[in-house]
Amino acid sequence: MRMADEQPALGEEPSFNGCDQGKDSQLSPAIDGETPMGSERMEMRKRQMSVHQDTVSPAQPQQGVGNRGSNACCFCWCCCCSCSCLTVRNPEDERRRTSNEIRGDGIPNWEESPTPTLEDVSSWGQSFDKLMNTPAGRNAFREFLRTEFSEENMLFWMACEDLKNEANKNVIEEKARLIYEDYISILSPKEVSLDSRVREVINRNMLETSQHTFDDAQLQIYTLMHRDSYPRFMNSVIYKNLVKSLSENTNDS
């Protein structure tokens, strides 16, 4: 038996509390509930972690194809989650889509028209009706209204003309609603200037819309453009340059 103050022999593990239990590199497994130590404790911890991962992994959704496949129907070969057969159509979304289509097919940014002649442009100065009855005249006048930030007057008038040419009852109802939202509602940035009497007429007409729901309002805006904007257009640079350009072309030919 070695004394307490003696150094351990070469190759021997130091003993604890005077015992030679440290000689073996491996410890015996736990007995009677004792906690295993050293390499056995690490080995048991690895086993526990391995068992835990095997238990959790199946419950976790896998990325990629597995996720898409769980949402796909049996008819969707691409296994994507955006399959049309899984889409639930909302009536409100359908109505909004129809409204956007009607807006998109409505008033063009520029009406197609042949180049006006000098005689045509001169006739615009004689009558506002002649100006408004030709696409080229409306285009020139509309360009001028943009410079005065009052283009909504022309847009409203053209929308009313488009409504008059519609025969389908459902389309009439939808177009009338859009005209009200775009040009009559006080919440719209494109609201046109109408008096209270005309607004009351429109509100009554909106209960049962027709091609003539906005006739009174259209006439009032037409009169406003005639009296207010039309005289300034005739003296504008836009009109004068157009007359000058056509005059030069006529002289050259």
| pLDDT higher at 109 or 222 | 222
Question: What's the distance, CA 7 to chain centroid?
Answer: 83
DSSP, collapsed to helix, strand or coil, labels residue 116 as coil
Does 20 fall in a domain? no
Using CA atoms, how far apart are residues 33 and 108, in angstroms rounded to an integer? 87
Does 72 fall in a domain? no
Using CA atoms, how far apart are residues 47 and 12, in angstroms rounded to an integer? 30
Using CA atoms, how far apart are residues 195 and 189, in angstroms rounded to an integer? 17
Does 195 fall in a domain? yes
pLDDT digits (tens, 9 = 90+) for 165-199: 999 999 999 999 999 999 999 999 999 999 999 99
Q: What is the CATH number of the domain that holds 143?
A: 1.10.167.10
Q: What is the model's pLDDT at position 113?
A: 80
Q: What is the model's pLDDT at position 41?
A: 62
Does 186 fall in a domain? yes
Burial class (CB in 10 A: 0-12, 13-18, 19+), 150: middle
Does 208 fall in a domain? yes
pTM, to two decimals: 0.60
Dihedral angle, C-alpha 175, 181, 182, 185, nearest 10 °:
140
Does 243 fall in a domain? yes
Using an 8 Å Cβ cutoff, are 121 and 242 in contact? yes
Q: What is the model's pLDDT at position 24?
A: 45
Structural domain range at position 174: 118-252
pLDDT digits (tens, 9 = 90+) for 15-74: 444 444 444 444 444 444 444 455 566 666 666 666 555 554 444 444 444 444 444 444
Does 53 fall in a domain? no
Number of domains the chain is built from: 1
Report the helix count and the strand count for the chain, using DSSP H and E: 12, 0
- Burial letters 36-51, b for 16+ CB under 10 A, else e: beeeeeeeeeeeeeee
Using an 8 Å Cβ cutoff, are 193 and 162 in contact? no
DSSP, collapsed to helix, strand or coil, labels residue 16 as strand
Nearest to 160 by CA among 217, 232, 103, 114: 217
Does 143 fall in a domain? yes
Q: Could you tell me if residue 64 is left (phi over 0), alpha (psi between -120 and 50 degrees) or otherwise beta?
A: left
Using CA atoms, how far apart are residues 72 and 83, in angstroms rounded to an integer? 7
